[in-house]
Amino acid sequence: MRQYLWIWLTITSIIAAAAHAEPITTGSLLREMIDLHNLADFPNPAYKTVQFSSYDHRSTVPGGPEWFANSDGFGREPVPNFEKVIREPSGGKPGEYLICDVKGPGAIVRTWTAAIKGSIRLFLDDMDKPLFDGPAEDFLYRPYEPFSKEAGIESDFYRNSFQQNRAGYAPMPFAKQCRIVWVGNVEEIHFYQVQIRLYEPTADVVTFGPQDVKKYANEIREVGKVLAAPAANWKYASTTAPVEIKADLAPGEVKEVLKLKGPKAVERLTLKLDAKDVDRALRQTVMHVICDDYSWGQVQSPVGDFFGAAPGINPYDSVPFTVEADGTMTSRFVMPFATSMRIVFQNLGRQAVSVNGSVLPMDYQWNDKTSMYFRARWRVDHDLVGAGDAVQDLPFLAARGGGVYVGTTSLLLNPTAIPTPGGGWWGEGDEKIFVDDDVRPSTFGTGSEDYYNYAWSSPDIFFHAYCGQPRNDGPGTRGFVTNNRWHVIDALPFKNSVAFYMELFHHERTPGMSYARVGYHYARPGLIDDHVPITGEDVRPVDLPPNWQPASRGGANNSVYHQAESLVQSPQARLVDGSLYAGGKVLRWEPASKGDELVLTIPIAEAGRYALHLAAALNGESGVISVRMGDKSIMGGERGVIDLCAPGRQMLREFSTGPMDLPKGDLKLTVRYEGPSEKCGGSAVGLDYLRVQRR
């Protein structure tokens, strides 16, 4: 089973002869979770990271008839989504299915699920009884939690640290074997991903046991503190003073802004751009980081895209990158060089741009056998057609040579007219990562959002230590969307080659998509890739189609739309232009005081069962509202209020009722201003449209 893995493991590592001073333990792996220096040298002992998942197992031949098959965990798949059927269900008992059975030293480094029924049994080494035997979701979300009571670590501690959205990062090393069995009904939902490091056979690994959580409780707490708030708790090793970066660039100008002599490494890079149109400057100002007099920069990327939050300034915090609301952007990826580093900026736009920032150099001893360059080479495709009947593999990186893959960013424009994730979703496609001699991908995913650690095409803004969605305009997944994921404990070393592809698989045919991306990696000298120079056409402005009209398809089927301005008259409300909004306009209401009300009159053509969906603007100027029918709040969940505050962002979201019986005639809804948000302090209310959906 997966014998190609053993072919890889028997190849002599370029550093296999070097002795590893200390054994690999739960504690050492925990420390790796916040060690970015570790990524800059080829790993010793060498390992390969592989993924076992519920991908559609009919996908066996690249480009073949079932290559884009998509039955990946909903149940009733044509082929069971496991490595092996151990026991068919019988006599009322569920079946048993093999997720993985790998031999030799290794470590579980990441788990994920969108939703899964049944239970999981985990066996490490030659144990007779499972180390874990319980609900599958418990193991895949928070693997350490069952062993934490004796260590005095509460469940909440893991949320937003070791649990990141729907992924669990809780390393579990093993010396001899890892066997994971799912017990359940394959007719029911069973999405899963399990990532495992497979070390070279001579690696000294100490197997995880229940006592490890208590034994390494201090490490868990310290690492968890950093994972929960990286920027606030990060510790830099450098004792050197930062070196300033300051430059003004005229349109078309290319300027070198920094030159350092090596051997050294840059431990931190901080930048901020100023221009008349900052969003455009962030895409049209290209950064080149050139180490050791190479002909082309190891880093070639628009500045904003490099920091994983573009287009525009979209604040988020992660282990390698932090973007602040004022536009200050920080990278903590370590960038080593042997003799020199130059940073050059190229202004491909038509406006003047100012660049300010600094680098933090540190002492570094370049090792000709193991040291690597940090690389991030941006690419984009404009005017793509996303479609479910014409799925395509988009290349993120194809390279020959040795290195370690450490992160991914997708930055795209989804111009769908459907205002719901259902029907308007762009990311049904899987990631496929070929490493070295892979015949089929050793990482084969179950959906773009699953790779980025979330699920169900969620439009929510979120960010964690290793992943994030710092931008999603909405409504639904319409507009500009940015996802990122950082491979630290689940880094992907490659000795000879790597090829990373992500399927572009849209719910419905959608022309006019723009899809930019970066595959961040470290590389040994001599690596070659498929990068091409960035042109002015690549960084041309892209925007949402003007005057868009929401469609009654997909999750929005059986809907009638009413623009807010057609439902209300108020001297306190005015129309504001914007491509984000239906018809290119939004009704901006500015209530004078708490308790002010705006009445919407909605025509109901015939009696029936309906759900109502109010599209409202979220930004840094907005307040808190309630939506009432009579004296009852009908939106906003249990609290009955909707906080429209979104500091540093401009978004559109639908807020919905449950199904309700409505009579024919005019329905009156009251939008009540409940006061300013604690986070924003503003009072503005932007109302775009109201969607009446027959149920």
- Mean predicted confidence (pLDDT) in 252-263: 97
- Mean predicted confidence (pLDDT) in 425-436: 98
- Mean predicted confidence (pLDDT) in 158-174: 97
Measured CA to CA, the distance from residue 411 to residue 587 in angstroms comes to: 29
**Nearest 5°: phi and psi at 149?**
-60, -45
Cis preceding linkage at 263, omega within 30: yes
Contact in structure between 247 and 345 (CB atoms under 8 Å): yes
- Walk me through the domains of the chain, giving residue ranges and CATH numbers: 4-233 (no CATH), 237-361 (2.60.120.1390), 379-523 (2.60.120.1390), 558-694 (2.60.120.260)
State how far Cα 373 lies from the chain centre.
Answer: 24
Tens-digit pLDDT profile for residues 316-342: 999 999 999 999 999 999 999 999 999
- Mean predicted confidence (pLDDT) in 311-317: 97
Which own/partner contact pairs does 30-33 have at CB distance under 8 Å and 24+ positions apart? 30/171, 30/216, 30/219, 30/220, 30/223, 31/219, 31/223, 32/171, 32/488, 32/489, 33/169, 33/171, 33/223, 33/227, 33/488, 33/489
Query: What pLDDT is attached to residue 360?
Result: 98
Given a cut of 70, is residue 17 above it in pLDDT?
A: no
Contact in structure between 463 and 307 (CB atoms under 8 Å): no
- Please list the helix, strand and coil fractions of the chain in percent, rounded to the nearest 5, in that order: 10, 45, 45
Which own/partner contact pairs does 327-331 have at CB distance under 8 Å and 24+ positions apart? 327/272, 327/273, 327/274, 327/278, 328/270, 328/271, 328/272, 329/270, 329/271, 329/272, 329/303, 329/304, 330/231, 330/268, 330/269, 330/270, 331/268, 331/269, 331/270, 331/306, 331/307
Given a cut of 50, is residue 145 above it in pLDDT?
A: yes
Query: What pLDDT is attached to residue 572?
Result: 84
Given a cut of 90, is residue 236 above it in pLDDT?
A: yes
Report CA-CA distances (Å) from 180 to 79, 133, 201, 641: 19, 10, 20, 44
pTM as predicted:
0.95
Tens-digit pLDDT profile for residues 26-76: 999 999 999 999 999 999 999 999 999 999 999 999 999 999 999 999 999
Contact in structure between 406 and 461 (CB atoms under 8 Å): no
Mean pLDDT over the full length of the chain: 95
* 3 state DSSP class of 452: coil
- Weakest-pLDDT range from 112-116, 192-196, 678-682: 678-682
Query: What pLDDT is attached to residue 681?
Result: 86
Given a cut of 70, is residue 521 above it in pLDDT?
A: yes
State how far Cα 43 lies from the chain centre.
Answer: 25
Tens-digit pLDDT profile for residues 654-671: 999 999 999 999 999 999
Q: Tokens in use for 573?
A: 């409300």
Percent of the chain with pLDDT over 90: 94
Query: What pLDDT is attached to residue 21?
Result: 61
